[in-house]
């Protein structure tokens, strides 16, 4: 089958885990053809390109979610649809955009996304219904007339925002929105709704999402919008996979920006409404852990359409790591991206508490800067704190002392590879206060290392009973747990062996690929039969799975048996139009032994 892979800031442009997971997925499912529809979230990524893709994977289409609307898409739209939108088109835009804005900018109200595809005007009783009507109305207008990017940044859009935000039912935080706030919101909405105006839906000279059998969005938010339109226009099934809930990431990112409170509130409300619509229309949602699943359920996802699929991780880099030493080594290792959410300050204070009874203990902090804008300053603060808590220890006045805490990066002389960091660990520590899926813990489990972690995100779900978990922001509890494992080699060995077995069972690439192979076939088997050419052209002659119903074959020959023999009637098929008096062999009495009538032969 042909899969439309919808990404945002990931494959094939970006590096990192999002790209790695998509790359492993498409390389593992060689029985399907993939077309990548990538929304480029950051400048510069498109220029880097990506790795060479397999033959069954096409780079497909790409569009930026920054700057001006891409000129290539805009020229194609104008050539197809003619002149700029007129007065009638602007009135239509005001109607649809007003429904959209009033749905997410209004105060709390009841209502769940409707399950029906066609929403009559007199049924728009809930916020979710109004949001869906406005969203798909804008999509249809963009498809028929074009010009939507300019309309979204026009004075009409700002006036609509102003009328809703200053109305009596607006969000409390939106009442104080000024003109510059409304302009900022309009700009961000144009970027978020940019997929509505792209030529990805079969409007151009080549097939697009109208020719795929299944849309697989690798995140919510903007990446799922093309899948929603393919569902709307062509009834194409939509699969949504979220290993990090896009709505949660939006909340965290906006909280760290200098945007005003009204702008943050309006954009958060829009993203929440978009997430609810995505979960309502998706045929299946695959969160990466229970923590993400709870977020999706709170946003309105139907529990019956949620299925947890753990992210697959490559075990090869950690296969050669030896078992943890059973001696009295005292090395704690922390691995990750350094940023405030990782709470290294609490880890340093916990290590200071541990050193009171374990003076030989050392702490290795291995990792680079995270994506948080505050990460560089946070790293400098942690270095200064480590120097203050642990002055260089020297044997005499002439010897250079060494700090028991070291800050290192992968690729340095002491840590040439990630596996070397885990190989040096007696215990692996995680100290986060905010965490999604803890990849560093899974890597430590692959290496057979005992772990001490804080209870954040999906940590308890990943660890199970194979490590120690303490409350976040509790340096004393963290120190006590590390002390307990450092003083008990046998316990460390038992926990490390159990952790390795659990990780190899649940978190490998093989189990991830096998899960999605089954999900693809399941969704296609439940999808309604569709013509091979929905828009008057054939999709390169590719067969469509489950496009034709299975034929039924009746074993046995159409032979005269039993009563038919005795009556002398000829035998043959029955049914509408069949000659009277003919009886099939399966409807006649079974032949007597030795009669010589074959009863199980191919027709």
- Per residue, the 3-state secondary structure of 468-517, as one string, reads EEECCCCHHHHHHHHHHHHCCHHHHHHHHHHHHHHHHHHCEHHHHHHHHH
* 206: DSSP letter: S
**How many other C-beta atoms can be found within 10 angstroms of the C-beta atom of residue 160?**
23
**CA-CA distance, 229 to 200, in Å (whole number)?**
10
Residue 239 lies in a domain: yes
Cβ-defined contacts of 505-508 (< 8 Å, 24+): 506/310, 507/310, 507/311, 507/312, 507/313, 507/442, 507/445, 507/462, 508/312, 508/313, 508/315
Tell whether 520 is covered by a domain: no
Positive/negative CA dihedral, 338, 339, 343, 349: positive
Scored b (16 or more CB within 10 A) or e, 393-409 reads eeeeeeeeeebbbebbe
pLDDT: which is higher, 187 or 207: 187
Q: State the angle between helix axes of 246-255 and 261-281 in degrees (0 to 180), rounded to the nearest 10.
A: 180
Among residues 263, 286, 305, the one where a domain terminates is 305
Rounded to two decimals, what is the model's pTM? 0.79
Tokens of 523: 């969704």
* N-to-C CA span, the chain: 32
Burial of 530-541, coded b for 16+ CB within 10 Å and e otherwise, reads eeeebeeeebee
Residue 527 lies in a domain: no
What mean pLDDT do residues 570-596 have?
Answer: 44
In the structure, what pLDDT confidence band is assigned to residue 213 with cuts at 50, 70 and 90?
very high
Task: Choose the final residue of a domain: 283, 305, 327.
Answer: 305
Kindly state whether residues 33 and 150 are assigned to the same domain.
yes
| pLDDT for res 495 | 96
Q: Are residue 301 and residue 331 in the same domain, yes or no?
A: no
Tell me, what's the pLDDT at 259? Answer: 87
Of 305, 330, 352, which marks where a domain is finished? 305
Would you say residue 521 has pLDDT above 80? Answer: yes
What share of the chain in percent tops pLDDT 70? 75
The mean pLDDT value of the chain amounts to 81
Evaluate the CA torsion angle 438, 441, 443, 446 in order and state its sign: negative
What domain range is 162 assigned to? 2-305
Please tell me the least confidently modeled range out of 141-155, 220-234, 385-399, 540-554: 540-554
235: Cα separation from own chain's centroid: 21
Same domain, yes or no, for 488 and 558?
Answer: no
Per-residue confidence band for 598, with pLDDT thresholds at 50, 70 and 90: very low
pLDDT at 559 over 60: no
Residues 419 and 466 grouped into a single domain = yes
How many whole angstroms separate alpha carbon 486 and alpha carbon 476? 15
Best-predicted range by mean pLDDT among 74-88, 141-155, 332-346?
A: 332-346
Both 485 and 393 in one domain: the answer is: yes
Question: Is 357 found in the same domain as 290?
Answer: no
The answer to whether residues 90 and 238 belong to one domain is yes
Residue 567 lies in a domain: yes
Q: Are 493 and 572 part of one and the same domain?
A: no
- Is it the case that residue 539 has pLDDT exceeding 50? no
Domain contains 517: no
Task: List pLDDT tens digits, range 463-498.
Answer: 999 999 999 999 999 999 999 999 999 999 999 999
The DSSP string of 141-154 is: HHHHT--HHHHHTS
In-domain check, residue 516: no
Q: What whole-number distance in Å separates Cα of residue 11 and Cα of residue 201?
A: 20
Strands (E), 152-272: 214-217, 238-242
> Do residue 266 and residue 349 come from a single domain?
no
Mean pLDDT across the stretch 120-129? 63
Kindly tell me if the per-residue pLDDT of 116 is higher than 70. no
Contact 457, 435 (CB under 8 A): yes
The pLDDT tens digits for 74-97 are: 545 555 555 566 788 889 999 999
* Residue 428 near residue 386, CB atoms below 8 Å: no
Residue 549 in any domain: the answer is no
pLDDT of residue 397: 52
pLDDT at position 323: 84
Same domain, 59 and 156: yes
The DSSP output letter for 11 is T
Question: Half-sphere exposure of 446 toward its Cβ, with a 13 Å CA cutoff?
Answer: 25
CB atoms within 10 A of CB 472: 20
Q: Is the pLDDT of residue 72 over 70?
A: no
Q: Which residue has the higher pLDDT, 69 or 285?
A: 285
pLDDT in tens, 10-65: 565 555 566 678 888 988 998 899 999 988 866 655 544 556 777 888 766 788 88
Q: Please check whether residue 353 lies inside any domain of the structure.
A: yes
Question: Is the domain of 501 the same as that of 569?
Answer: no
Q: What is the pLDDT of residues 311-333, one digit of tens each?
A: 889 999 999 898 877 777 899 99
Whether residue 242 is predicted with pLDDT greater than 70 in this model: the reply is: yes
Q: Is the pLDDT of residue 558 over 90?
A: no
* Structural domain total, the chain: 3
Tell me: do 367 and 284 sit in the same domain. Answer: no
pLDDT value at residue 544: 59
Instruction: Report the CATH number that the domain containing residue 372 is assigned in CATH.
Output: 3.40.50.2000
**Confidence check: pLDDT of 580 > 90:** no
Please give the share of the chain, as a percent, with pLDDT higher than 90: 49
261 pLDDT more than 80 = yes
């Amino acid at each position: 089958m042909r899969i439309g892979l919808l990404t945002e800031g990931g494959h094939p442009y970006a590096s990192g885990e999002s790209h790695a997971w998509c790359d492993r997925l498409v390389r593992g499912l060689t029985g399907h053809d993939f077309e990548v529809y990538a929304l480029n979230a950051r400048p510069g990524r498109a220029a880097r390109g990506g790795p060479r893709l397999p033959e069954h994977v096409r780079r497909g289409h790409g569009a930026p979610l920054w700057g001006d609307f891409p000129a290539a898409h805009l020229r194609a739209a104008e050539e197809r649809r003619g002149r700029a939108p007129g007065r009638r088109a602007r009135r239509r835009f005001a109607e649809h955009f007003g429904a959209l804005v009033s749905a997410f900018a209004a105060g709390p109200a009841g209502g769940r996304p409707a399950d029906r595809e066609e929403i009559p005007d007199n049924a728009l009783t809930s916020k979710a219904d109004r949001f869906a009507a406005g969203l798909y109305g804008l999509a249809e207008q963009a498809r028929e007339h074009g010009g939507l990017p300019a309309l979204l940044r026009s004075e009409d859009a700002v006036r609509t925002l102003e009328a809703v935000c200053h109305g009596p039912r607006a969000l409390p935080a939106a009442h104080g929105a000024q003109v510059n706030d409304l302009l900022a919101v309009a700009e961000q909405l144009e970027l978020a709704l940019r997929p509505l105006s792209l030529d990805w839906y079969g409007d151009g000279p080549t097939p697009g999402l109208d020719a795929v059998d299944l849309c697989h969005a690798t995140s919510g938010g903007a990446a799922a919008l093309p899948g929603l339109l393919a569902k709307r226009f062509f009834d194409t099934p939509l699969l949504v996979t979220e290993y990090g809930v896009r709505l949660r990431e939006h909340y965290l990112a906006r909280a760290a920006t200098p945007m005003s409170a009204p702008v943050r509130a309006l954009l958060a409300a829009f993203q929440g409404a978009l997430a609810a619509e995505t979960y309502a229309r998706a045929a299946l949602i695959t969160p990466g852990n229970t923590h993400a699943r709870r977020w999706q359920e709170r946003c309105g996802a139907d529990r019956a359409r949620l299925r947890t699929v753990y992210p697959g991780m490559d075990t090869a880099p950690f296969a050669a790591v030896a078992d943890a030493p059973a001696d009295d080594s005292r090395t704690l290792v922390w691995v990750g991206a350094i940023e405030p959410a990782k709470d290294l300050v609490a880890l340093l204070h916990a290590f200071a508490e541990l050193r009171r009874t374990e003076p030989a203990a050392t702490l290795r902090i291995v990792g680079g800067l995270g994506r948080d804008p505050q990460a560089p300053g946070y790293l400098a603060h942690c270095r200064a704190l480590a120097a203050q808590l642990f002055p260089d220890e020297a044997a005499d006045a002439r010897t250079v002392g060494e700090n028991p805490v070291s800050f290192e990066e992968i690729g340095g002389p002491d840590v040439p590879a990630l596996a070397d960091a885990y190989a040096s660990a007696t215990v692996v520590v995680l100290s986060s206060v905010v965490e999604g899926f803890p990849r560093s813990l899974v890597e430590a489990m692959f290496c057979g290392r005992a772990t001490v972690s804080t209870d954040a995100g999906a940590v308890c779900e990943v660890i199970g009973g194979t490590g120690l978990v303490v409350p976040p922001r509790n340096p004393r509890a963290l120190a006590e747990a590390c002390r307990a494992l450092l003083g008990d080699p046998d316990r460390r060995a038992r926990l490390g062996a159990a952790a390795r077995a659990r990780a190899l069972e649940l978190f490998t690439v093989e189990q991830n690929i096998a899960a999605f192979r089954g999900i693809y076939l399941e969704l296609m088997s439940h999808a309604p039969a569709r013509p091979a050419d929905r828009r008057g052209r054939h999709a390169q002659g590719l067969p469509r799975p489950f496009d034709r119903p299975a034929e039924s074959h009746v074993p046995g020959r159409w032979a005269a048996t039993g009563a038919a023999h005795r009556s002398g009637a000829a035998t043959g098929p029955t049914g509408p139009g069949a000659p009277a008096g003919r009886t099939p062999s399966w409807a006649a009495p079974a032949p007597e032994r030795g009669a010589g009538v074959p009863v199980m032969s191919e027709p």
